[in-house]
Amino acid sequence: MSTILKDVMQTNSGHPASTPGAMQAYRASVLHFTNDPAFHNDAHAWFEDGLLLICDGKVLQVGDYVALKSTLPDDVTIADYRGKLIIPGFIDTHVHYPQTDMIASPAPGLLPWLETYTFPTERQFSDLNHSSQVAHFFIDELLRCGTTTAMVYCTVHPQSVDAFFTESSERNLRMVAGKVLMDRNCPEFLRDTAESGVRESEALINKWHKKGRQLYAITPRFAPTSSEAQLQLAGELARAYPDTYLQTHVAENTDEVAWVKSLFPKARSYMDVYDHYGMLRPRSMYAHCIWLDDADRARMAATQSAVAVCPTSNLFLGSGLFDFPRADSEQMLLSLATDVGGGTSFSMLQTMNETYKVARMGGSYMPALRMFYLATLGGARSMQLEGVIGNFAIGTEADFIILDPQATPLLARRTANTNTLEELLFALALLGDDRTVLATYAAGRQVHQR
Ligand code: GUN
Ligand code: ZN
């Protein structure tokens, strides 16, 4: 065995994998990213006949099968997935687990959709049993779609957060979630107060943040449903706990933007409201970002605040088209997200499908290679988790999926005559969905198999 393999095996004990200290080996085509292909030439590694080695829930080595095979101890069994593709697990940077049961509910735009469907649905999460049942189904659905990490909104009820993290930690998943803060412009039954919201959030931080693989996100729903006092306290909480996450919505819909202008007449822009309260910082995730101006984009880039681009939701609710060229000219941190239940699919492959079309409608072209980057390492970078998840760098947590290019008759027929990696990935992104995900692994343990 090579000395590198021995070293990593010795330092990786203590992480729950199938058998502590046992090496797992997977043979397949392997793809992962080390950089953003939009800005770098050597941004990905592709091993057509590749091998991924895992030990104690972490990546031990990745490379060509032929080169690595001779370094393996004799007793290692190799799982043979030739003809399939191994990539890092998908990262969905914006999704609402309580909205699972109201996915595909029609409404003429964001604000009526919130009033008619979202608020009554979220009311049910005052009940811990209901929360646990939905969290269980939601996590099953993520794993079926190959999503191993998500940034998740719970509801205003602290018990909805307990239910989610309990389900996630039982499966040893790397998840980020938080209690929604909202103290105005919403039904009485979903309202906290500036003080109770921050007190309950702090208690949840102490209970869940960095417990195993769980991470906490301070979650003001969006500027219209928080008073100035609540935004002030949320910003203070973010400063008091700088390694927690912060997530909210911004500039999704023109009616929403006009509403924010009337509620915060002194702010330069919608994003400026959040900036005023100190909410632009690394580990803050802003969903949508459609109706920003260049000053907003520059502020987000300068503060390492990230964007969760949500194309299926934006098309479904008629919110608008994300502007990729403008975002890239500011080198903003970009990631892809489903935004279920505004989004219409849990699948990050289907999210790529719509990403491609949104980019085309904006006059630009999004290669499949970049979409796979955005759904893996791009998400990890947006969450400041590079080196932890998002690619197969040695020592990263072994969250990975196996994609089947023959998953459906049409995919099989199309991928039988793709000539390049780009063509293969493009077919998977445009034609793939949950059926394409043969198996999902979290920290080296299988958590889904078709
Ligand atoms: N803005 C405020 N709340 C929400 C929500 O639940 N979904 C979406 N898409 N936008 C929002
Ligand atoms: Zn959302």
Instruction: List the residue whose alpha carbon is closest to atom 9 of ligand 1.
Output: 342
Give the residue from 21, 146, 142 showing the smallest Cα distance to 401.
146
| Ligand lying closest to the C-alpha of residue 190 | 1
| Ligand lying closest to the C-alpha of residue 152 | 2
pLDDT at 358: 98
Instruction: List the residue whose alpha carbon is closest to atom 8 of ligand 1.
Output: 342
| Pocket mutation for ligand 1, best pick of 94, 95, 96 (most atoms within 8 Å of C-beta) | 96
Q: List the beta strands (DSSP E) in 35-89.
A: 44-55, 58-64, 78-88
Q: From CA 222, how far away is CA 244, in angstroms rounded?
A: 18
Q: From CA 34, how far away is CA 392, in angstroms rounded?
A: 9
pTM: 0.96
Give the residue from 84, 53, 50 showing the smallest Cα distance to 66.
50
Phi and psi at 445, nearest 5°, equal -110, 135
| Pocket mutation for ligand 1, best pick of 110, 184, 255 (most atoms within 8 Å of C-beta) | 110
| Pocket mutation for ligand 1, best pick of 117, 221, 248, 319 (most atoms within 8 Å of C-beta) | 221
Q: From CA 144, how far away is CA 139, in angstroms rounded?
A: 9
Long-range contacts of 130-137 (CB under 8 A, 24+ apart): 131/98, 131/155, 131/157, 131/159, 131/160, 131/162, 131/163, 131/164, 132/163, 132/166, 132/167, 134/97, 134/98, 134/100, 134/101, 134/163, 135/97, 135/163, 135/164, 135/166, 135/167, 135/168, 136/167, 137/100
Phi and psi at 229, nearest 5°, equal -65, -40
Ligand 1 centroid from CA 209, angstroms: 24
Ligand 2 centroid from CA 177, angstroms: 13
Burial annotation 277-287 (CB, 10 A radius, 16+ → b, else e): bbbbebbbbbb
Do the beta carbons of residue 129 and residue 96 sit within 8 Å? no
Type of residue at 189: F
Q: Which atom of ligand 1 is nearest to the CA of 225?
A: 2
β-bridge mates for residue 51, sequence order: 27, 63
**Between helices 421-431 and 348-361, what is the axis angle to 10°?**
100
| Pocket mutation for ligand 1, best pick of 102, 113, 118, 257 (most atoms within 8 Å of C-beta) | 118
Ligand 1 centroid from CA 185, angstroms: 13
Ligand 1 centroid from CA 332, angstroms: 22
Q: Which domains does the chain possess? A: 3-88+390-449 (2.30.40.10), 90-366 (3.20.20.140)
Q: Which atom of ligand 1 is nearest to the CA of 153?
A: 6
| Ligand lying closest to the C-alpha of residue 253 | 1
Q: Which atom of ligand 1 is nearest to the CA of 256?
A: 1
Q: From CA 288, how far away is CA 257, in angstroms rounded?
A: 12
pLDDT tens per residue across all 450 residues of the chain: 444 444 444 433 333 445 778 899 999 999 999 999 999 999 999 999 999 999 999 999 999 999 999 999 999 999 999 999 999 999 999 999 999 999 999 999 999 999 999 999 999 999 999 999 999 999 999 999 999 999 999 999 999 999 999 999 999 999 999 999 999 999 999 999 999 999 999 999 999 999 999 999 999 999 999 999 999 999 999 999 999 999 999 999 999 999 999 999 999 999 999 999 999 999 999 999 999 999 999 999 999 999 999 999 999 999 999 999 999 999 999 999 999 999 999 999 999 999 999 999 999 999 999 999 999 999 999 999 999 999 999 999 999 999 999 999 999 999 999 999 999 999 999 999 999 999 999 999 999 999
| Ligand lying closest to the C-alpha of residue 111 | 1
Ligand 2 centroid from CA 153, angstroms: 8
Pairing state of beta strands 333-336 and 437-442? unpaired
Ligand 2 centroid from CA 435, angstroms: 25
Instruction: List the residue whose alpha carbon is closest to atom 11 of ligand 1.
Output: 249
Q: From CA 324, how far away is CA 204, in angstroms rounded?
A: 35
Which residue is listed with tokens 């190959």?
146
**Pocket of ligand 1, beta carbon within 6 A:** 96, 110, 114, 118, 221-222, 249, 252, 313, 339, 342
| Ligand lying closest to the C-alpha of residue 121 | 1
pLDDT at 18: 56
Q: From CA 352, how far away is CA 349, in angstroms rounded?
A: 5
Q: List the beta strands (DSSP E) in 173-280.
A: 175-178, 180-181, 214-220, 245-250
